[in-house]
């Protein structure tokens, strides 16, 4: 029997070397702390490391999908285009890791399986899958909102003799799809990007759709030197405005009420927002789409018309047009040729609500309408959002309470930043912050890193060892969250935003929907009141 390994000791541990973890490392180092980042992948980038499927691209413009903490970084990095592909995002995070010499404090290929709080020493002990132990008073979970892939238990999946792959576990060396019979299950942001990218290359493509989405056309554009100069000159304003808009984008909302406008003005506004070729219609259009069923229906109908106009066969068009939810109540994907792919002879759409998948077979997929033979099946089936990455780790707080068990009954956080019962554990991208759904991720994640850093800085400055929200504070935040959520159409819609994509998951809106400024204000208030409502020791 080998001797038990002894734990390496640090001032803080960060799990994950994606957008959040890299910045958190940089920020805690500036407090003079000895920090270790533990990362499951062999490289940095998180989401932008793992999601290397064909066509992976950000739906946020590149000038707001980046760090703001270093003017030098803003000066020395040029984005090639408005919406960048995965390779470029990954290159950016590698550049950041090199520029700030971050790698020396990161353990790669190390997946954390357990995190245990020790009350006596006020420390957390992390254990990796290969038995490495790490110990520190503070732990920051920088796991990302969408990093636990959903692998639906399709009957007979192990019998399939072709290649089966989830979009977020795409092999780095790629898959040769040329001439093959390929099936894609899922038509969210990911499925859409895959379909539009591979349709022309594969022999035959079958798209299995459960719920149609309202995808908006992406107008991408390469940047030249003049664009770079102009974008850079705007950075001081951009950095400010992303923290002032409702969802952390740089577009101020239209501001006018839908029904205060004439029919011509409404249409002209919708056309203008549509023509922007971005998520503007969703994030900076008529905010009543989230609350008012009449406005929701009017805007949805506008988008339905745009989708129908793209598809030759009216029967296929009707399948691709969403009718069971309003525009913007689920994640709106951007598309670049997606709808046109259904005019191709080698692409079929299978509505699996009408003809459900019965099982996988050795040769392909059997639906209630018959067997479809396939060489490759791509699962673009999404993620256990917000909670899945956290519950994949056996987290034990005070008195050994298990987060996994507690969250089976009731998912709770305070501001998405801490959880009652788990001292000195900080979460990012967790439920009840705007991060997972209603925020341009970098805006909210950077804000959370700053809050956590300020909090740890405060504790160190004031000779405190421990912080945790009280049960009352947590309850008050949840009540506020629920009150706002329940006023919206979003909370009434089945999607990963409400936990409906995961069997047995609590149905509650995951993301805080009071807007980025209100969220930031609530977080700031906690710090201004020196953590009133939090247990400090």
Contact residues for ligand NA7, defined by CB under 6 A? 146, 150, 152, 167, 185-191, 210-211, 331, 352, 380-383, 496, 501
Q: Which residues contact 217 (CB under 8 A, 6 or more apart)?
A: 274, 277, 306, 334, 335, 336
**Angle of the 441-461 helix axis to the 516-528 helix axis, nearest 10:** 0
Give least dist CB 187 to ligand NA7, A: 4
Q: Quick one: which of 99, 101, 85 has its CA closest to 48? A: 85
Query: Within 13 Å of residue 448, how many CA atoms lie on the same side as its CB?
Result: 35
Q: Cβ of residue 532: shortest distance to ligand NA7, in angstroms?
A: 35
For ligand NA7, give the closer residue by CB, 220 or 470. 220
Question: Of 63, 440, 442, whose CA–CA distance to 221 is shortest?
Answer: 63
Q: In angstroms, what is the minimal distance from the CB of 51 to ligand NA7?
A: 8
- Using the minimum distance from each CB to ligand NA7, give the nearer residue, 100 or 342: 342
- In total, the chain counts a number of residues equal to 537
Quick one: how far is CA 507 from the chain centroid? 18
Q: Are 326 and 296 in contact (CB under 8 A)?
A: yes
Instruction: Label each residue of 473-501 as H, E or C.
Output: HHHHHHHHHHHHHCCCCHHHCCCHHHCCC
SS3 per residue for 235-261 = HHHHHHHCCCCCCCCCCCCCCCCHHHC
C-alpha separations of 142 from 21, 147, 328 in Å: 5, 11, 27
Residue ranges with strand state E in 403-503: 425-427, 467-469
Judged by beta carbon, residue 279 or residue 298, the one nearer ligand NA7 is 279
CB of 307 to ligand NA7, least distance (A): 16
Q: Which is nearer to ligand NA7, 285 or 382 (CB)?
A: 382
Nearer to ligand NA7 (CB atom), residue 72 or residue 158: 158
Considering the complex, what minimum distance in angstroms separates the CB of residue 27 from ligand NA7? Answer: 25
Neighbours of 409 (CB within 10 A): 8
CB of residue 12 vs ligand NA7: minimum separation in angstroms?
A: 28
Nearer to ligand NA7, 86 or 190 (CB): 190
The phi, psi pair for 164, rounded to 5°, reads -120, 125
Question: What is the smallest separation between the CB atom of 103 and ligand NA7, expressed in angstroms?
Answer: 26
CB of 143 to ligand NA7, least distance (A): 14
Shortest Cβ 290–ligand NA7 spacing (Å): 17
Sign of the Cα torsion 284, 290, 293, 297 reads: positive
Residue 3 DSSP symbol? P
Q: Which is nearer to ligand NA7, 139 or 189 (CB)?
A: 189
Minimum distance between the CB of residue 362 and ligand NA7, rounded to whole angstroms? 20
Q: Report the C-alpha gap between 262 and 27 in whole angstroms.
A: 50
- Of 12 and 56, nearer to ligand NA7 (C-beta) is 56
Give the C-alpha separation, 40 to 15, whole Å: 9
Closer to ligand NA7 by CB, 152 or 277: give it.
152
**Residue ranges of E strands in 441-480:** 467-469
How many Cα atoms sit within 13 Å of 123 on the Cβ side?
A: 14
CB 367 to ligand NA7: min, Å: 11
Give the nearer residue to ligand NA7 in terms of CB position, either 390 or 478: 390
Burial of residue 466 (CB within 10 Å: 0-12, 13-18, 19+) is middle
State which residue, 231 or 334, has the beta carbon closest to ligand NA7: 334
Q: Toward ligand NA7, which CB reaches closer, 214 or 223?
A: 214
Name which of 341, 321, 343, 298 is nearest 215 in CA terms.
Answer: 321
- Tell me the C-alpha distance between 492 and 321, whole Å: 19
- Minimum Å gap between C-beta 519 and ligand NA7 is 18
Backbone φ and ψ of 529, nearest 5°: -90, 20
- Specify the residue, 33 or 194, whose C-beta has the smaller distance to ligand NA7: 194
**CA quadruple 509, 510, 513, 519: dihedral positive or negative?**
positive
Comparison of 19 and 380: residue with beta carbon closer to ligand NA7: 380
Rounded to whole angstroms, how far apart are CA atoms 150 and 385?
A: 9
Least separation, in Å, of the C-beta of 174 and ligand NA7? 19
In the complex, minimum distance from the CB of residue 416 to ligand NA7, in angstroms, rounded to a whole number: 16
């Amino acid at each position: 029997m080998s001797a038990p390994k002894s734990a390496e000791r640090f001032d803080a541990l960060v799990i994950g070397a994606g957008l959040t973890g890299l910045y958190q490392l940089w920020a805690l180092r500036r407090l003079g702390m000895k920090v270790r980042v533990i990362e499951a992948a062999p490289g940095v980038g998180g989401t932008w490391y793992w999601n290397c499927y064909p066509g992976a691209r950000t739906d946020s413009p590149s000038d707001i999908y980046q760090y703001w903490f270093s003017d030098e970084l803003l000066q020395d990095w040029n984005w090639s285009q408005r919406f960048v592909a995965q390779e470029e995002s990954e290159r950016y995070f590698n550049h950041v890791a090199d520029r700030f010499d971050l790698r020396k404090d990161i353990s790669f290929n190390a997946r954390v399986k357990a995190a245990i709080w020790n009350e006596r020493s006020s420390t957390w002990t992390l254990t990796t899958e290969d038995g490495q132990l790490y110990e520190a008073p503070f732990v920051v979970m920088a796991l990302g909102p969408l990093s636990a892939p959903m692998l639906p238990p399709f009957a007979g999946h192990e019998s399939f003799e072709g290649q089966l792959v989830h979009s977020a576990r795409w092999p780095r060396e790629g898959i040769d799809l040329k001439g093959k019979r390929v099936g894609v299950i899922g038509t969210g942001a990911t499925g859409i990007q895959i379909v539009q990218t591979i349709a022309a290359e594969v022999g035959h493509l079958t798209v299995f759709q459960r719920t149609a989405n309202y995808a908006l056309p992406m107008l991408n554009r390469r940047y030249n030197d003049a664009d770079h100069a102009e974008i850079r000159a705007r950075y001081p304003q951009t950095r400010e405005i992303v923290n002032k808009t409702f969802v952390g984008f740089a577009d101020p909302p239209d501001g006018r009420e839908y029904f205060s406008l004439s029919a011509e003005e409404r249409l002209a506004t919708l056309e203008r927002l549509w023509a922007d070729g971005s998520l503007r219609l969703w994030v900076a259009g008529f905010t009543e789409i989230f609350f008012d069923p009449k406005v929701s229906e009017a805007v949805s109908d506008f988008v339905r018309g745009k989708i129908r106009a793209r598809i030759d066969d009216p029967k296929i068009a009707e399948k691709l047009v969403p009718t069971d939810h309003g525009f913007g109540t689920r994640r709106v994907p951007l598309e670049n040729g997606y709808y046109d792919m259904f005019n191709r002879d080698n692409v079929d759409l299978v509505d699996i609500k009408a003809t459900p998948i019965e099982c996988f077979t050795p040769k392909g997929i059997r639906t209630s309408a018959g067997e479809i033979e396939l060489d490759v099946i791509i699962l673009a089936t999404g993620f256990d959002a917000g909670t899945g990455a956290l519950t994949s780790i056996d987290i034990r707080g005070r008195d050994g309470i298990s987060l996994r068990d507690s969250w089976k009954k009731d998912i709770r956080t305070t501001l998405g930043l801490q959880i009652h019962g788990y001292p000195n554990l900080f979460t990012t991208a967790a439920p009840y912050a705007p991060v997972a759904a209603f925020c341009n991720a970098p805006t909210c994640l950077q804000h959370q890193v700053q809050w956590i850093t300020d909090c740890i800085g405060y504790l160190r400055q004031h000779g405190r060892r421990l912080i945790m929200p009280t049960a009352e504070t947590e309850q008050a935040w949840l009540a506020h969250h629920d009150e706002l959520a329940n006023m919206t159409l979003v909370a009434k819609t089945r999607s990963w935003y409400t936990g409906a994509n995961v069997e047995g998951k609590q149905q509650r809106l995951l993301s805080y929907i009071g807007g980025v400024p209100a969220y930031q204000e609530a977080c700031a208030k906690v710090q201004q009141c020196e953590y009133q409502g939090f247990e400090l020791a």
